[in-house]
Amino acid sequence: MATYLIRKAVPGDCEEIVRLIKELAEYESMPDQCEMTPEKLRADAFCDQPFVHLLVAVCTVSKATVAYSSFSYMYSSWKGRTAYLDDLYVTPAHRGSGLGTSLMQSVAKCAFERGCNRMNWIVLSWNKRPAELYARIGGENLTKKENWENITLFQEQLKNFATNYKVKLSADTTVNVQL
């Protein structure tokens, strides 16, 4: 029998969380895309206005960090406050115990307590086990239901669009930007 403690991460957890992030990247066959470091994670999670919130699951016997979740808050102009679950990862030896569901429920509780109206996340189409969980808890696949697509600008494309892209305005249009 295993006993776990799910808690908010503290700065000292960042090394272990990054280790798990890299395990997740390996599991998802994308290890070359993971650029996270403990220093970067610490700076982004433990600043005045955190970009990310982190939960960890610790095995109370071994004291090992065996799972984590990362999430943030965003805003929907249609629905209002929204939580975005970026990662939820449980190490292989601890899967099938209900720990992942408990961790996801903990993120949902954080979101609910912050007044969120919904929680969004994405899942790789081949990753069937989590997809089955998401269906069981009432998650709706909006790609199938409403034809929504998830679009991303990665760093180089974001930089190019923000700094170099020439917007083609109609002849009678002027746009002034004040940020």
Task: Chunk the chain into consecutive blocks of 10 residues (it has 179) and report each block's average pLDDT, rounded to whole numbers.
Answer: 94 99 97 97 98 98 97 96 97 94 96 96 89 88 83 88 90 91
State whether residue 88 is helix, strand or coil: strand
Q: For the chain, which residues make up each domain, given as ranges?
A: 4-148
pLDDT at 159: 93
Distance CA 20, CA 24 (A): 6
pLDDT at 133: 87
State whether residue 58 is helix, strand or coil: strand
Domain 4-148 has CATH 1.20.1250.20: no
Q: Are strands 118-120 and 80-90 parallel, antiparallel or unpaired?
A: parallel
pLDDT at 95: 94
Question: Is 27 one of the catalytic residues?
Answer: no
* pTM of model > 0.85: yes
Catalytic residue of the set 4, 27, 134, 165: 134
